[in-house]
Amino acid sequence: MRWLFVLPIVFLLSCSGNSQIDDHTPFIKDQSQFDKMSSRPLYQKYGQVAALKIVYDNRTEKLHFVSSEEYEFHYQFCMAELGFPNDLSRFNNEAYSNSKDRRFLIANINHYKALDKFALELGPSDRMNKEHLIKLFKAVRADVFFSDRLYLMLNTAHVTNLNIEDWGIPTIGPSEIYNGQRYQPISKYSAYGRLRVVHDWEKQRDSIRPEDIIIINDIPQVFPLVQGVIVTQFQTPLSHVTLLGQNRRIPICAYTEIFNYTESLKLDGKVVSFTVDQDTFHLKRAENVDLSEIWDRGKPLKLSKNVKVDSLIPVNLLREKHRNVVGCKAANFGELNQYAKKMDFMVPESAFAIPFYFYDQHIRSNEIQTKIDELLAKDNRTRSSADIKSDLKEIRKLIKNAPIDAALVEEVKNMIIRLGDFRRMRFRSSTNAEDREGFSGAGIYTSKTGELGNLEKPIDKAILKVWASLWSFNAFMEREAFNIDHSSVAMGILVHRSFPDEAVNGVAITSNLYRDDYLGFVINAQLGDESVVQPDGGVQCDEFICYPDETVSVYGRQEAGIDIINYSSLNEGVLVMSEDEIQNLANVLELIKRRYARTHYTRESYFNLALDLEFKLDRDTRQLYIKQMRIYNR
């Protein structure tokens, strides 16, 4: 029997081809009319949302519900139907202002199917004043069938600060929308594989094969090498596991009710096709599919490495050209250091790099290379996970227990003293197999802290542990997934001062991931050192879109705005950064992106050019630090 399973809570988001649909109407009488006139929102921040445009004309005192089939943007309707001059720049200046003389009040009505609630939502740069917003909300409520389910969405700092609920307007926050979802598209791709229903990861993990598609409660921190994942727990958009899934281009989604659908569970052990879309996923039995072809990928990719540079390199000398000497992370950090000299951010102080040479000497002088060669001579694509883990564990043990070059340790200590007063240092992995286009390697290697004079955190042990992480199971299997020649991989180390007390940590993407080819940067931020990229179960971070202002971008606007997707679960419904801090971050990101774009060829448009940057705010000064830069593989 052929099973077909499609998420049953899908609803019509795009308009049908019905020519009888009106361009606009003064009221919405039922769900059918709403569905026909609505479409997917331009900002696809959540799954399963239908958006309907509205325009209130203060000149005529009339409300218009606008068909998305005919008009993609509000300004098109205002120019075509309401006589506004054909001047987009003028429209943008007037239609988003807080002026009491503003003619058009524009917004979207979003239907969140999982909650069956409707929300009036302003654009992120809209500064509509309180009187106009109350007027618009009341006009909409009077002319829709869902008046008892209509709320004002508190999606921007501007709207939140109006305290509109004091005027009897019901509101809904981003976190209620986020947590009320049942479906989250994480990585929108398609794949074939054998479906495996995982009830107990610890018991079943060694039996999971690379050709499998798994149904599981939560993605483990050691992300398995598989063809696709359906998970019940929502994922932080910029977490390491999400980034790894995006980089692998495999379908991943979260659906809270997946273990309640017996039709999908019946496919356990069967070969299936799996596709993730914005509003649903498709899982069905597949015929005549040879899963062995998954591993037929041709000659392994051999990476460039230079193991001849035998001295430490201070950050002021590090450049992108040193990627094959110290690794991509350290080389990119050197570029960030150059950017920081002319921009309003800092990189962590007392930074330098330990080249590949020292790792290479360590594994060769202690006969560790022989053990590595033995592992690579085996057919690791057909071996069990347990056997591979055993070999890798032995290699890591040899690396950590072999005596380290005393001259290197002394040189590192002297460099730390020479570069400043910091003694507690962070030793960060920097390989030629991470932070590169097509392969981020997010979270697969280890960073450690070492401190001068601290017997519990000695410098030599930190170096050895970072070197050993090159041969972690997660790192090894991730390189396998991308067909990278392991013998060409080497480990350098980026060293800089440690941050024991940061106020905020976060990840920024210099592209609007929720609206293609459009201005905006996606930010995940969290209090203190609570991880954004590897969060504890159930912990949520701030998620928002921010925009550069007119001081740094020709596309920027004064008071550029913040579009809030979710709040941190640790900060009581308040963003962990101030509006000024967010605006400064957005402006810095724009300057970094522009500087990068001038010296790097990309197939993407400028808006879609995405850099992945990790940042911190210092606890005492709240100074912005950017500590990592790499290409984000869309």
Domain CATH number, residue 462:
3.30.1490.20
In a domain, 307, yes or no: no
| Contacts of residue 472, Cβ cutoff 8 Å, sequence gap at least 6 | 392, 396, 444, 445, 446
Residue-level pLDDT at 295: 66
In a domain, 434, yes or no: yes
Per-residue pLDDT of 616-634, as tens digits, reads 999 999 999 999 999 998 7
DSSP 13-27: -SPP--TTS-SEES-
- 245 and 373 share a domain? no
- Please provide residue 378's backbone torsions phi and psi, each rounded to the nearest 5 degrees: -85, 160
- 516 and 609 share a domain? yes
Domain count, the chain: 4
Q: Is 90 helix (H, G, I), strand (E, B) or coil?
A: helix
Range of weakest confidence among 6-10, 391-395, 536-540, 589-593: 6-10
In a domain, 306, yes or no: no
- 247 and 382 share a domain? no
Residue-level pLDDT at 160: 93
> Is the pLDDT confidence value at 190 over 50?
yes
- 30 and 170 share a domain? yes
Task: Tell me how far apart the alpha carbons of residues 596 and 356 are, in angstroms, rounded to a whole number.
Answer: 26
Residue-level pLDDT at 22: 77
Residue-level pLDDT at 367: 86
In a domain, 539, yes or no: yes
- 201 and 327 share a domain? no
- 493 and 537 share a domain? no
What average pLDDT is seen over the chain?
92
Range of weakest confidence among 217-221, 307-311, 369-373, 426-430: 217-221
- Hey, which residues does 626 pair with through a beta bridge? 615
Per-residue pLDDT of 356-405, as tens digits, reads 999 999 999 888 999 999 999 998 888 888 899 999 999 999 999 999 99
Buried b (16+ CB within 10 A) or exposed e, 284-306: bbbeeeebeebeeeeeeeebebb
> 55 is in which domain, residue-wise?
4-177
- Last residue of some domain: 472, 497, 522? 497
Strands 150-153 and 117-121 come out as parallel
- 279 and 144 share a domain? no
> Is the pLDDT confidence value at 308 over 70?
yes
- 452 and 317 share a domain? yes
Return the residue matching tokens 């591993």. 295
- 375 and 477 share a domain? yes
pLDDT > 70: percent of the chain: 96
The number of residues in the chain equals: 634
- Beta-carbon count within 10 A of 259 CB: 16
Return the residue matching tokens 């179960």. 537
- 46 and 69 share a domain? yes
Q: Is 77 helix (H, G, I), strand (E, B) or coil?
A: helix
Residue-level pLDDT at 297: 66
In a domain, 299, yes or no: no
In a domain, 296, yes or no: no
Residue-level pLDDT at 89: 87
- Last residue of some domain: 157, 177, 197? 177
DSSP 463-519: HHHHHHGGG-HHHHHHHHHTTB-GGG--EEEEEEE--SSEEEEEEEESS-TTSTT-S
In a domain, 304, yes or no: no
- 163 and 252 share a domain? no
pLDDT band at 225 (very low <50, low <70, confident <90, very high): confident
In a domain, 580, yes or no: yes
CATH number for the domain harbouring residue 230: 3.50.30.10
Residue 119 belongs to what H/E stretch? strand 117-121
Query: Burial of 110 by CB count in 10 Å (0-12 exposed, 13-18 middle, 19+ buried)?
Result: buried
Per-residue pLDDT of 558-617, as tens digits, reads 777 899 999 999 999 999 999 999 999 999 999 999 999 999 988 889 999 999 999 999
Task: Tell me how far apart the alpha carbons of residues 548 and 531 are, in angstroms, rounded to a whole number.
Answer: 26
- 225 and 338 share a domain? no
Query: Please, which contacts does 245-250 make with residues 24 or more away whose CB atoms are closer than 8 Å?
Result: 245/186, 245/187, 246/187, 246/633, 246/634, 247/438, 247/439, 247/440, 247/442, 247/633, 248/481, 248/482, 249/187, 249/189, 250/187, 250/189, 250/191, 250/226
CATH number for the domain harbouring residue 602: 3.30.470.20
Task: Tell me how far apart the alpha carbons of residues 609 and 234 are, in angstroms, rounded to a whole number.
Answer: 26
